[in-house]
Structure 1
Amino acid sequence: MRERPLVAVLLAALLFLLAAAAQAVEIIDDRGMRVDIARPPQRIVSLMPSLTETVCALGACDRLVGVDDYSSWPPSVLALPHVGGLEDARVEAIVALQPDLVLVPLSSRALPRLQGLRLPVLALEPRTLRDVRRVLQVLGPVLQAGDPDLVWQDINREVQVAARKLPARLRGLRVYVEVGSTPFAASESSFIGELLVRLGAENIVPATLGPFPKINPEFVVRADPQVIIVERSDAAGLRTRPGWQRIEALRRNRVCALDPEQMNVLMRAGPRLGAAAHLLADCLEGRLADGSPGR
C-alpha cells in the first residue's frame, strides 16, 4: 500500500519536469550567442520601441516593467519607467527593475555592460521585413503568449491592402523618404524601402548606400523625386535648400509632411508596419500633402 503514494509522487515529479522542459527555450540571438530561457519571463525591460511593440502585439504587454525613452505605443507603456535610449540607457535603473529578461538592440551602447552584469539579455534588432517576422518567431516561444504567425499575417495582409488601394497610374513614382534633417534617408534596403517596393514605388536612394545613409542634398536634386516624405517640422525648410526648388515634388507640392506620431509608425520595424504601408500609400496619393491625419 505504501508503494502507491510513492509512485504518485514520482509521477507528479516527472510531469513537473516534463512541463518545465516544455517551457524551456533555446535561442540564438543577433549576437550569435545562445540564450537559454528556462521559463516565460514575467519582468521584461525593452530597450527598443519596435521590440516593445512586438511584446505587446504578442499579448505580453502586462509583463513589461520598463521601456526605453522612445517607446510610446500602445499608450499603456507611457506609464512605465523609462530607462534611456540607444546611447544613454541607464543601467542602474534597469537593474533596479529586477528584470528576468532585457530585450536590447545590437546597437545599444549599454549591451556590453548589461552582459557584464550577467543580466538575462536577448539581443534583437529588426531592420528588414524578414527581420520583423524573425523577431516575432523568436519572441513567440520565449513569451509563450500570442501567435507570431497570426501577427505576421495581419501585417502582411495590411501591406497587401495598402498596395491594392493605390491606383495603377501612381505606380513607379520616384520617392525620397527623409528620416533625419542632416539629411538621412531611407534607402531601398531599409524596411521602408521594402514597403515602397511592395507598393510599386521607386526609391531614389539605392540599396548600395546602406539602409539609412546620410545623403548629399545635391544627390536628391539630381534624382528629382516626384514625392518627398518628411517629418512636418522639416518640411518648411526644404525649399531653402540650394537647388531644391527645381525638384518636381516641390514644384508640384507633392511633399508628404508627417507628424511625429506618424513618423513613429513609419520608422519602427515592428507590428505596425501594415499601418506604415497605409501611410506611404496615402503619401503617394497626395492625401497627406498638407499634413492632415491619415489612416
Structure 2
Amino acid sequence: MKRMQWMLAVLLCCMASAATALQVTDDRGVTVTLPGVPQRIVSLLPSLTETVCELGYCNRLVGVDRYSTFPVELHNLPQVGGGIDPNVEMVLALRPDVVLMAKSSPAVARLESLGLKVLALEPKTHADVQRVMLRIGQLLQVQDAQRIWRAIDAGVSAAAQSLPASVRGTRVYFEVNPGPYAASEASFIGETLTRLGVKNIVPASLGPFPKLNPEYVVRANPDIILIGQSSAASLATRPGWTGMRAMREQRICDFAPDEANVLVRPGPRMAEAARIMARCLEAKAPRTSAGVSGAKP
C-alpha cells in the first residue's frame, strides 16, 4: 500500500512538472523545453536584448553581448563577447536558464553541447520581427507581446505620413557595412524604406543583405546614399563613386553611431529608425521630379 502511495505521489509530481514546463520553438524549428519561465537570461543579439527589456524583463538578463548597449540598464551587466564569438566560459559561469542568440551564429552548437538551453532567433524582415517578439513573449509568458509591433507599425506609418509627396520615388542606397553589404528591398530596413515611399536600388531577389560589387551601385546611380559615418569617410576613394549623382550633390545621410545602431537593429526601436530615415530623406531628396537619376543596374 505504501509503495502504491509512493508511486502515485511520484506520478502526480511528474504530472505537475509537465504542466508547468514551457516549450518554445525557435527559428531552427527546434523546440526548447524549460522547466518554467526563465529567471536568468543571457542575450547575444542586441535586437533580442532590447525586446526582452521592452517587454519589461531587463531584470532577468544576467549577461549580454558587447553590442547590447541599450537601454542604459544594461551597462552594469557582464559582457560576454560577441554573438559570433562569445566567451563560453563566462556564459557558463552566469548559469543562464536560456541563451538567446542568432540562428546563424556558429556558437549555437557549442553552447548546446555544454548543456545550455539555446533559443536561436534571427529577424531579417518585418514578419520575422513580429514572430520573434511573439516567441520572446511566449518565453517570458507576456500576454500581449504583440503590442510592441503595433507601436512600431503605427510609428512607421506616422513617419511615412510626415514626408512630403516630393520624396516619393526617390531612389536610395542603404549600406549596412563595408563590403559593401546593402539592405535590399527584402530586409526589414528595405521594407521600412518602401513604406516611406522611396525606391531601393537593391532588389529583393538579391536576398536581404547582399554583398555587392561596388560597380553595381555606380551603375544604379542612386539619388541618396544612407550610410554610417564610419563608412561614409571612405566613399570618395571607391572607384567611380565620385561621379554618382548622390556624391556630386552631397545627398548623403551619414548616421552617427548611436543612430546607426538604431537603424540596423530589427527590434523595438524600428519606429525611431523610420523617423531617423524620414528626416534624412526629407532633407536630402532632390527638389525635382522623383526618379530622375541615371541608368538602372
Same fold (TM over 0.5): yes
Measure, in 1, the Cα distance between the counterparts of 2:34 and 2:281: 44
Closer/same/farther in 2, CA of residues 54 and 146 from structure 1, 3 Å limit: farther
Measure, in 1, the Cα distance between the counterparts of 2:55 and 2:107: 25
- The corresponding residue for 2:60 is 63
Closer/same/farther in 2, CA of residues 217 and 94 from structure 1, 3 Å limit: same
Query: What whole-Å deviation, never above 9, does each CA across 1:17-54 have from its counterpart, x for those lacking one?
Result: 77x76654322211211112331111000010000001
- The corresponding residue for 1:167 is 164
1:70 alignment partner AA: Y
| Residue 129 of structure 1, aligned match among 126, 130, 134 | 126
1:208 counterpart SS class: helix
Alpha-carbon offset, residue 203 of structure 1: 0.5
1:74 alignment partner AA: P
Instruction: Kindly indicate whether the alpha-carbon contact (under 8 Å) linking 2:43 and 2:63 is maintained by their aligned counterparts in 1.
Output: yes
TM-score, normalised with respect to structure 2: 0.87
Q: How many residues align?
A: 276
Closer/same/farther in 2, CA of residues 268 and 23 from structure 1, 3 Å limit: farther
Matches within 5 A, 1:97-116: 97-116=94-113
| Residue 212 of structure 2, aligned match among 215, 230, 233 | 215
Q: Does 1:196 align with 2:198?
A: no
- The corresponding residue for 1:270 is 267
Q: Which runs of 5+ in 1 are unaligned?
A: 1-13, 289-295
1:286 counterpart SS class: helix
2:78 alignment partner AA: P
- The corresponding residue for 2:239 is 242
- The corresponding residue for 1:205 is 202
1:234 alignment partner AA: S
Q: Does 1:84 align with 2:81?
A: yes
Q: Does 1:156 align with 2:162?
A: no
Measure, in 2, the Cα distance between the counterparts of 1:152 and 1:23: 28
Measure, in 2, the Cα distance between the counterparts of 1:133 and 1:52: 15
Measure, in 1, the Cα distance between the counterparts of 2:123 and 2:21: 24
Measure, in 2, the Cα distance between the counterparts of 1:22 and 1:166: 51
TM-score, normalised with respect to structure 1: 0.88
Closer/same/farther in 2, CA of residues 31 and 60 from structure 1, 3 Å limit: same
Percent identity between the two aligned chains: 54
Q: Comparing 203-212 with 157-166, which one deviates more in the overlay?
A: 203-212
Q: Comparing 64-73 with 179-188, which one deviates more in the overlay?
A: 179-188
Instruction: Kindly indicate whether the alpha-carbon contact (under 8 Å) linking 1:60 and 1:145 is maintained by their aligned counterparts in 2.
Output: no
Q: Which runs of 5+ in 2 are unaligned?
A: 1-11, 286-297
2:176 counterpart SS class: strand
2:103 alignment partner AA: L
Instruction: Kindly indicate whether the alpha-carbon contact (under 8 Å) linking 1:136 and 1:148 is maintained by their aligned counterparts in 2.
Output: yes
Measure, in 1, the Cα distance between the counterparts of 2:235 and 2:83: 28
Q: Comparing 39-48 with 105-114, which one deviates more in the overlay?
A: 105-114
1:66 counterpart SS class: strand
Alpha-carbon offset, residue 253 of structure 1: 1.4
Q: For the aligned residues, what is the CA RMSD?
A: 2.2
Instruction: Kindly indicate whether the alpha-carbon contact (under 8 Å) linking 1:58 and 1:146 is maintained by their aligned counterparts in 2.
Output: no
Measure, in 1, the Cα distance between the counterparts of 2:190 and 2:168: 14
Q: Comparing 168-177 with 81-90, which one deviates more in the overlay?
A: 81-90
